[in-house]
A and B are shown apart, each in its own frame.
Chain A
């Protein structure tokens, strides 16, 4: 790719710690209605958030337009628990507490939460699929999923999002000691969907988590994965792929809070953008606290601009509070399709559109192959094919 902007290395001066010191609450009334100037919201198109910014949060009830269906192997415990205000199930809200108003609103306004438990020592051979289906974007709806992978268990979970909706939800993930989890959020919404999703992930001692966000559809999609470690030796990979079309907003705000020794985090997000009004945002905040000795961390965001018009904001922040880090780095590259790569392929007789398809598919291939969930890989390959068909025929 031909870079237009590039940065890499360590910048210890940026206050990622601000994120860890933010106000946290389950009560939306504790947060003023954001106007878009707040650090948290400065890239988000506030005017498109519809009822998610309602003034009187106490009156908000979910529209019921989003139905959630769970398909899980029999060894998984699936519970639907009542969840409203003070009467919520005591397990909810134990992984992460909302740090902004919309997530707090989702927490307080969700009527029924889904709790999925993969019992200790259980190795699932089939993925769990949680399918959120939106039946219309009028009125806001809310959701909450708690996913518990107990010690020594291993699981693959796909959160599939389709249809049309105005939606905000919290996803809490707790992976126990030596647990293994691959979790994929596939955001394949219709073009008019708005979805703000707060992910709270706790990685247990020596646990290993692969967290993937695939943003394809929607009008405004914003996912905010926050990672904490419950013990030493944890390992998380945060992978992201997005294909941002004209007038689409895809935002990913990542916060990895290293507080335990000898943990590893690796963030790798890749996006392709095309057309007027296509906007992607990637914020990668990594904080390495004083006690997190022996931390290994690397984060990178690469964006491919397939035409004039798109805007890709990419902001890596790395703050290190200990002198004993194993390795830490970040990079951000935004550029156009590489003319020499296209020339090389075309000089072998391959027509331009097909050459572009090959180069863009190749750009995503590394990440696609790392997801390692057949169901997702197939959907992704098909979705990319459709996106590229549309992108190259316009």
Chain B
């Protein structure tokens, strides 16, 4: 079993006007097999947390720790974190011109698995996974995310998740921009990964509709760069009907204490 432990995490983002503090003490523990939903208003810092875990150079950890199975991941480079078992499905996946999906997936799988997958098995694995995600095989020949629709980008993120089988997966708004059918396909994919029991999932979302397909063990409410409330799956429903307004005071308080 794997555990990701985030303790009192403070993160600043590099802007043109210097460093700007965003996260103000985040505590969160996720174990493989568990699913945690992270919800909160726009700009509360959810993506910042995701990027900080993945190691994006624009986000600087000013204090606190992130540990995966006893190893301090803050000491690791971006690629080392991924090879250690972390995965981030991005809110806005990046286009990489001239690099085909096939080439990219195989290079990534080779890096993460530590050896090149056997060609025949690999081709079959990719084809079947794409098929389950209702992806046209022609996607494999296209350049990574180039000209993909919003929904296609999200499916492609999920394809990578299924092929790379990480210990901990952070899915940043994997449900945004999906129509009802695509939402089902993507949810089924997440559930396949969960059922293996080997992966812990942090699902960042604004909406409960995905949580009806992917049942969270815990829901965390994020506001002003911190987790301000925790609860079970039912908390999501409350949030959907009542919004984040009642956390606004907390938001101000934390911002004011800075």
Given A348-B112, A349-B83, A341 and B96 contact (CB-CB distance below 8 Å): yes
A344 to B104, CA, bound (A): 11
Establish whether residues B79 and A362, one from each chain, have CB atoms under 8 Å apart when the complex forms.
Answer: no
Interface residues in A333-354 by Cβ distance below 8 A to B read: 338-341, 343-352, 354
Establish whether residues B111 and A348, one from each chain, have CB atoms under 8 Å apart when the complex forms.
Answer: yes
Establish whether residues A362 and B88, one from each chain, have CB atoms under 8 Å apart when the complex forms.
Answer: no
Interface residues in B33-65 by Cβ distance below 8 A to A read: 54-58
Given A350-B79, A355-B79, A344 and B98 contact (CB-CB distance below 8 Å): no
B143 at interface by CB-CB < 8 Å: yes
Establish whether residues A350 and B111, one from each chain, have CB atoms under 8 Å apart when the complex forms.
Answer: yes
Establish whether residues B78 and A346, one from each chain, have CB atoms under 8 Å apart when the complex forms.
Answer: yes
Establish whether residues B57 and A362, one from each chain, have CB atoms under 8 Å apart when the complex forms.
Answer: no
Give the Cβ gap from A306 to chain B, nearest Cβ, in Å: 15
- Picked from B54, B57, B98, the residue with its CB within 8 Å of the CB of A339 is B57
Establish whether residues B104 and A358, one from each chain, have CB atoms under 8 Å apart when the complex forms.
Answer: yes
B108 at interface by CB-CB < 8 Å: yes
A297 to B168, CA, bound (A): 51
- Picked from A343, A348, A363, the residue with its CB within 8 Å of the CB of B97 is A363
Establish whether residues A347 and B96, one from each chain, have CB atoms under 8 Å apart when the complex forms.
Answer: no
Establish whether residues B99 and A359, one from each chain, have CB atoms under 8 Å apart when the complex forms.
Answer: yes
Which residues from chain B contact A350 at a C-beta distance below 8 Å? 79, 82, 107-108, 111
A365 to B94, CA, bound (A): 18
Chain A interface, >50% SS class: helix
Of all chain B residues, the one with the shortest Cβ separation from A338 is B94
Contact with A along B81-115 (1 / 0, CB 8 A): 11100011010011111110001100110011000
B160 at interface by CB-CB < 8 Å: yes
Given A343-B56, A343-B57, A348 and B96 contact (CB-CB distance below 8 Å): no
Give the Cβ gap from A55 to chain B, nearest Cβ, in Å: 48
Which residues from chain B contact A352 at a C-beta distance below 8 Å? 77-79
Give the Cβ gap from A4 to chain B, nearest Cβ, in Å: 15
B126 at interface by CB-CB < 8 Å: no
Of all chain A residues, the one with the shortest Cβ separation from B93 is A344
Give the Cβ gap from B43 to chain A, nearest Cβ, in Å: 20
- 29 A-B pairs with C-beta separation under 8 A: A339-B58, A341-B94, A343-B56, A345-B99, A345-B104, A345-B107, A347-B54, A347-B78, A347-B81, A347-B82, A348-B104, A348-B108, A348-B111, A348-B160, A349-B82, A349-B111, A351-B79, A352-B77, A352-B79, A354-B107, A355-B79, A358-B99, A358-B103, A358-B104, A359-B99, A362-B98, A363-B98, A365-B97, A366-B97
A343-B94, A358-B103 provided; 19 other pairs, C-beta below 8 A? A341-B94, A343-B56, A344-B90, A344-B93, A345-B104, A346-B77, A347-B55, A347-B88, A349-B79, A354-B107, A358-B96, A358-B99, A358-B104, A359-B96, A361-B98, A362-B97, A363-B97, A365-B99, A366-B97
A residues adjacent to B (C-beta < 8 A): 338-341, 343-352, 354-355, 358-359, 361-366
